[in-house]
Amino acid sequence: MKTLRIQDETHEKLTSLVGELTAQSGKMQTYADAITKMLESSVILPDGLLSEISELIKSGKAVGYTTVTDFVRDAVRRRIEEIKGEEFYVNVPIPREEYELLNRAIEETGAPFKNADDYIRKHIHDKIEEYERFKREVEG
């Protein structure tokens, strides 16, 4: 067994992670378990990319994100949805200002949408349903 010196802040984070792992597994966990979990699930990003994400968050351009971790998780989730999901037919250019303002409006007003993409897709879906009803009425 080896002894490892860590800072108080790191100790607090490890203790928190041990608690989370214990809650998830239902079995007592150790610092070794927490460190192993971190090593197995860690992704190392280049410093430049991390700085870029941090700057986007600080500047308010990455609306809705408070940490780099939140941003990266959402980016990965969106990419997975894109890969698994439907084929995208077109990319509709929307001015960045308007897109970001829509995201901010959704967040601040408590609208029932995750983000601007969710809002746009919902309205497309609703219009298609309306069109399908219209077609049935005309035909029938």
Give the tens place of pLDDT for each residue, 90-135: 667 888 889 889 989 999 998 898 888 889 989 999 999 999 999 9
Q: What is the DSSP letter of 63?
A: T
Query: What is the residue type of 119?
Result: Y
Residue-level pLDDT at 90: 64
The answer to whether 66 touches 57, Cβ cutoff 8 Å, is yes
**pLDDT > 70: percent of the chain:** 96
Residue-level pLDDT at 128: 96
Whether the full predicted model's pTM is greater than 0.75, yes or no, is: no
Answer whether residue 87 shows pLDDT above 70: no
Q: Looking at 4-13, 80-89, 113-122, 124-133, which range is the least confident one?
A: 80-89
Answer whether residue 89 shows pLDDT above 70: no
Residues near 62 by beta carbon (within 8 Å), at least 6 away in sequence = 53, 56, 71
Rg (CA), the chain: 22
**Quick one: which H or E segment has residue 132?**
helix 116-139
pLDDT in tens, 29-61: 998 898 898 888 888 999 999 999 999 999 988
Answer whether residue 88 shows pLDDT above 80: no
